[in-house]
Amino acid sequence: TRGQSLKEAQLARLRHDAEQESKVARNQAIRIAGMRSQWESNVAHSFDNKLISAIKKAAAEERAIGRAVHLGVRRQHLQELVAADHKLWESELNARGLAISRR
């Protein structure tokens, strides 16, 4: 009958609208999930870059400290050599001076 087919048409239309809204909502959810995933990826990538940069900086500082310590040790060693050489030279001069004064 006519009333029944009108109700069936309305139900079909409502079902169709609901399916369309469901598709739109699903597509939005997929797009939002993709955006979130991209954002998380960007954040992780940024964090990784900052971490790598910090590690490189720390390694460079460590190398600089190592070089400074090495140079400090070399400087101290050279100072000790100069002092020892100076004492040796002094003792030689004294020995010669004494030898000269004994003549």
User: Residue 1: pLDDT above 80?
Assistant: no
Q: Which residue has the higher pLDDT, 98 or 4?
A: 4
Alpha helices in the chain (DSSP H): 2-102
- C-alpha to C-alpha distance for 48 and 45, rounded to whole angstroms: 5
- The tens digit of pLDDT for each residue in 16-70 reads 999 999 899 988 988 888 888 888 888 888 888 888 888 899 888 888 888 888 8
Please state, as a whole number, how many other Cβ atoms lie within 10 Å of the Cβ of residue 14: 10
- C-alpha to C-alpha distance for 68 and 60, rounded to whole angstroms: 12
Please state, as a whole number, how many other Cβ atoms lie within 10 Å of the Cβ of residue 67: 10
